[in-house]
């Protein structure tokens, strides 16, 4: 395939004379922040107009909010307790926020009716919970020992909350309240509903065990078919009627069980989605190697299925965390109920915005942390996925 | 000289087969998918150290047949016996047979969340209860044999198709099976990767492994198979040694099949 001499000569000349064109940088107006702004905010007359209008509204609203929340805010008022004088707040109502309310009531919002002098106990418990979350979030602690850490931590929390031993005065459960209730309900809710949901999801797919499958389907459909509030009412009002005389399970525990059962039904469907998305070949390869059902499920199926459903799982967790606030309807003092109750005194009536904003901020911190963590987990798990 | 040795080895192999015990026995096996009759009175015996290649048009039941041997599919009638153990609903028998039978799939089916090494050591550790260190040594031996020991700490997604299929073969071999089943092992591969997988399979055949291979690679069948099985519409139509199978096909269905797949060769 030698080219004819004439052609070879011209090619030779061309390649000898070839000098790559000078490399140039892209036009400076098309890259970097300026390029981004031009491409996304001002790429046509219409988009320029929308950008300007929205920009004006955002700036105006932000300045207005800062005026209310910071510059005109009332940070403290004279007096305390019954003798508090909230005139300063009332004069600024609508113009400036009354953060004095939070300064006065934050302990009630966080700890509810827990005896004032003992409130360090729920405070420590909240810290233990947060510590537990942080430790559990780190993958290098994902070992058998983590289970013992949890059992130990929950035991300490139980001792601190109830007391009655080690010289701690006994505090009955009816007086617990505030953030700790929200954390207890959602932590136990997630920690116990999750394994239950895995079994229900597996059960629903157990085609060779029709009875188990039917049971799981009935459970999921029954629980999903009713609102959480009705389950909570059932737990608090109806359930005690069926108990034998003299037997009593406390209200918090009943609400807790209702939340676990409710969450597990939703989580089971999320997990089932992951199980179904896994290619059949993975099941077959595990079986062909001689793995037993539980080895196959624990080593091959669940690790992959759960990774696939991290976004909807965390979505459900976040929903559950906020749904625990519905227990206020059966008179349990969770964070939201405590905030609602904190503005019941005549002196503080009308400052709901401030109280609810403070509580919203607490909810947001927990939910946003979950959301960021799940995003990080996804990136880490997908690093080795087929590329 | 070398040719004579090869011929000698082939003769020895043929003589040994005469005396060998049957490893897989299928006796009048029938299977239906719903109302569809996919296996019709399939009868076939595979002896120890024998290499059997199964071919046939798609939908002929060859994959279903091979998958019945380790009970990935359940047959409804007839008898299947593997290494002297009959396949019934008895879970203990199924587990025993799966420990002795390795399988390689068309789509590799490696576990994407585990490294190559973990893919290989999983079953020895959990099923054979082998200590981790020993399992890893075994795995490295087999990775060496399929010529990719340097990939041990990568994940399946980082390997080429041919490499993944070789890992899949090594994974099955780590259980030290008596029988290896191959279900179209090269059908999902790019053409330039088929040879590296077939080379590994030829080597495995030379080492004396009992093999049942569903494939369209007729070159492989000619080179390696003791017998070639032709299936069509759920039936075993013809079974013959490769020279006879390709040189002197008896049935019209096989003649037509061969003329179709060998066109242009």
Of A284, A291, A386, nearest to B127 by CB-CB distance is A291
Residue B176 CA: distances (Å) to CA of A202, B37, B127, B134, B138: 31, 34, 12, 13, 10
Find chain B residues with C-beta within 8 A of A303's C-beta. Answer: 113
Residue predicted with more confidence, B8 or B239: B239
Is A290's CB within 8 Å of B113's CB? no
| Residue A220 Cα, gap to closest chain B Cα (Å) | 30
Residue predicted with more confidence, A385 or A243: A243
List beta partners, residue A7: none
pLDDT surpasses 60 at A366: yes
Find chain B residues with C-beta within 8 A of A291's C-beta. Answer: 122-123, 126-127
Secondary structure of B19-75 in HEC code, one letter for each residue = HCCEEEEEEEEEEEECCEEEEEEEEEEEECCCEEEEECCCCCCHHHHHHHHCCCCCC
Question: For B98-109, what is the mean pLDDT?
Answer: 92
Would you state the structure tokens that stand for residue B54, as one six-digit string?
Answer: 């199964």
How far is residue A353's CA from residue A97's CA, in Å, rounded to a whole number? Answer: 9
CB atoms within 10 A of CB A297: 18
- Comparing alpha-carbon positions, the chain B residue that sits nearest to A308 is B113
Spatial CB neighbours of A78, under 8 Å, sequence gap ≥ 6: A84, A85, A88
Find chain A residues with C-beta within 8 A of B102's C-beta. Answer: 288
User: Which ipTM was obtained for this model?
Assistant: 0.89
Return the residue matching tokens 């400076």. A28
Q: What is the pLDDT of residue A89?
A: 73
A-B Cβ pairs (cutoff 8 Å, strict): 69
Residues of B contacting chain A (CB within 8 angstroms):
70, 72, 95, 98-99, 101-103, 105, 107, 109-113, 122-123, 126-127, 155-158, 171-172, 175
How far is residue B97's CA from residue A194's CA, in Å, rounded to a whole number? Answer: 35
How far is residue A281's CA from residue A95's CA, in Å, rounded to a whole number? Answer: 65
Strand-by-strand arrangement of the B179-183 sheet: B101-104, B179-183, B210-214, B51-55, B227-232, B235-240
Interface contact A119, partner B, CB < 8 A: no
pLDDT surpasses 90 at A200: yes
B194-211 b/e (C-beta count within 10 Å ≥ 16 → b): bebbbebbeebbeeebbb
Q: What is the pLDDT of residue A53?
A: 93
Spatial CB neighbours of A154, under 8 Å, sequence gap ≥ 6: none
Interface contact A382, partner B, CB < 8 A: no
Of A281, A300, A307, nearest to B107 by CB-CB distance is A281
Got the DSSP string for A170-233?
Answer: P--GGG--BHHHHHHHHHHHHHHHHHHHHHHHHHHT-TT-HHHHHHHHHHHHHHHTS-HHHHHH
- Residue A355 near residue A339, CB atoms below 8 Å: yes
Residue whose C-alpha is closest to residue B68's, from B259, B231, B245: B231
Residue A46 CA: distances (Å) to CA of A35, A38, A49, A50, B246: 18, 13, 5, 6, 73
pLDDT tens readout for residues B195-204: 999 999 999 9
What are the strands, taking DSSP E only, across B161-204? 179-183
Spatial CB neighbours of A257, under 8 Å, sequence gap ≥ 6: A235
Find chain A residues with C-beta within 8 A of B103's C-beta. Answer: 285, 288
- Residue B131 near residue B104, CB atoms below 8 Å: no
pLDDT tens readout for residues B117-171: 999 999 999 999 999 999 999 999 999 988 888 989 999 988 999 999 999 999 9
CATH number of A113-381: 1.10.3720.10
Give the domain ranges of chain A: 113-381
Question: For B246-264, what is the mean pLDDT?
Answer: 85
- Comparing alpha-carbon positions, the chain B residue that sits nearest to A282 is B109
pLDDT tens readout for residues B167-189: 999 999 999 999 999 999 999 88
How far is residue B71's CA from residue B57's CA, in Å, rounded to a whole number? Answer: 22
| Residue A198 Cα, gap to closest chain B Cα (Å) | 19
List beta partners, residue B81: B25, B86
| Residue B240 Cα, gap to closest chain A Cα (Å) | 29
* Low-confidence winner among A312-321, A374-383, B44-53 (lowest mean pLDDT): A374-383
pLDDT surpasses 60 at A15: no
Angle of helix B116-126 relative to helix B132-145, nearest 10 degrees?
130
Residue A55 CA: distances (Å) to CA of A64, A321, B38, B176: 14, 34, 68, 69
pLDDT surpasses 60 at A386: no
Is B98's CB within 8 Å of A290's CB? yes
Is B158's CB within 8 Å of A385's CB? no
Is B157's CB within 8 Å of A387's CB? yes
Q: What is the pLDDT of residue A247?
A: 65
Q: What is the CA radius of gyration of chain B?
A: 19
Q: What is the pLDDT of residue B263?
A: 67
Secondary structure of A18-62 in HEC code, one letter for each residue = CCCCCCCCCCHHHCHHHHHHHHHCCCCHHHHHHHHHHHHHHHHHH
Determine whether A315 is exposed, middle or buried from the number of CB atoms within 10 Å of its CB (0-12, 13-18, 19+). middle
Question: For A20-30, what is the mean pLDDT?
Answer: 77
Q: What is the pLDDT of residue A9?
A: 47
- Comparing alpha-carbon positions, the chain A residue that sits nearest to B174 is A289
Residue B243 CA: distances (Å) to CA of A281, B205, B240: 35, 18, 8
Element holding A381 (H helix, E strand):
helix A352-382
Interface contact A282, partner B, CB < 8 A: yes
How far is residue A7's CA from residue A13's CA, in Å, rounded to a whole number? Answer: 10
């Amino acid at each position: 395939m030698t080219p004819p001499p004439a052609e070879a000569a011209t090619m030779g000349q061309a390649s000898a004379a070839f000098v790559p064109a000078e490399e140039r940088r892209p036009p400076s107006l098309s890259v970097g922040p300026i390029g981004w702004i031009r491409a996304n905010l001002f790429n046509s007359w219409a988009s320029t107009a929308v950008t300007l209008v929205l920009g004006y509204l955002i700036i105006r609203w932000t300045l207005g909010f800062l005026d209310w929340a910071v510059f005109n805010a009332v940070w403290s008022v004279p007096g305390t307790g019954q003798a508090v004088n909230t005139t300063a707040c009332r004069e600024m109502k609508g113009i400036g926020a009354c953060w004095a309310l939070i300064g006065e009531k934050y302990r009630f919002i966080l700890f509810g009716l827990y005896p004032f002098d003992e409130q360090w106990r729920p405070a420590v418990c909240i810290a233990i919970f947060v510590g537990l979350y942080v430790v559990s979030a780190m993958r290098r602690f994902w070992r058998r020992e983590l289970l013992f850490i949890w059992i130990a931590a929950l035991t300490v929390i139980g001792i601190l909350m109830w007391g009655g031993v080690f010289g701690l005065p006994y505090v009955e459960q009816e007086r617990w309240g505030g953030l700790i209730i929200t954390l207890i309900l959602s932590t136990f809710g997630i920690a116990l509903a999750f394994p239950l949901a895995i079994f229900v999801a597996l059960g629903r797919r157990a085609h060779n065990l029709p009875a188990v499958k039917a049971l799981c389907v009935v459970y999921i459909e029954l629980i999903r078919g009713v609102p959480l509030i009705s389950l909570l009412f059932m737990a608090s009002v109806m359930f005690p009627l069926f108990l034998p005389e003299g037997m009593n399970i406390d209200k918090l525990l009943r609400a807790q069980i209702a939340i676990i059962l409710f969450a597990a039904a939703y989580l089971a469907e999320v997990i089932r989605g992951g199980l179904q998305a896994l290619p059949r070949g993975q099941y077959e390869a595990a079986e062909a190697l001689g793995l037993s059902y539980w080895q196959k499920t624990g080593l091959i199926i669940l690790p992959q299925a759960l990774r696939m459903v991290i976004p909807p799982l965390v979505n459900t967790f976040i929903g559950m965390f906020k749904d625990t606030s519905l227990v206020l309807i059966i008179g349990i003092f969770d964070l939201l109920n405590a905030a609602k109750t904190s503005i019941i005194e005549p002196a503080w009536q009308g400052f709901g915005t401030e109280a609810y904003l403070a509580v919203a901020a607490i909810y947001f911190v927990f939910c946003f942390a979950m959301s960021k963590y799940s995003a990080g987990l996804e990136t880490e798990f997908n690093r080795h996925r087929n590329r | 000289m070398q040719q004579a040795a090869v011929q000698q080895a082939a003769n020895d192999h043929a003589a040994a087969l005469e005396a060998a015990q049957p490893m897989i026995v299928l006796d009048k096996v029938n299977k239906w998918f719903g109302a569809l009759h996919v296996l019709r009175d399939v009868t076939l015996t595979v002896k120890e150290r024998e290499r059997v290649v199964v071919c046939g048009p798609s939908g002929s039941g060859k994959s279903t047949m091979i998958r019945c041997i380790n009970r990935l599919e359940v047959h409804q009638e007839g008898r299947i016996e593997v290494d002297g153990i009959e396949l019934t609903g008895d879970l203990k028998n199924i587990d025993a047979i799966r420990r002795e039978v390795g399988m390689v799939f068309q789509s590799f089916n490696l576990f994407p969340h585990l490294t190559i090494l973990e893919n290989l050591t999983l079953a020895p550790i959990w099923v054979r209860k082998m200590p981790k260190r020993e399992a890893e040594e075994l795995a490295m031996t087999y990775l060496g044999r399929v010529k990719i020991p340097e990939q041990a700490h990568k994940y399946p997604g980082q390997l080429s198709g041919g490499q993944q299929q070789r890992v899949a073969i090594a994974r099955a071999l780590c259980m030290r099976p008596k029988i290896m089943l191959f279900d179209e092992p090269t059908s999902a591969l790019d053409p330039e990767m088929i040879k590296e997988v077939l080379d590994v399979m030829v080597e495995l055949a030379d080492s004396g492994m009992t093999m049942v291979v569903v494939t369209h690679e007729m070159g492989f069948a000619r080179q390696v198979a003791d017998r070639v099985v032709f299936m069509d519409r759920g039936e075993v139509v013809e079974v013959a040694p490769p020279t006879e199978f390709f040189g002197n096909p008896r049935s019209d269905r096989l003649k037509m099949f061969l003329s179709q797949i060998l066109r242009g060769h």
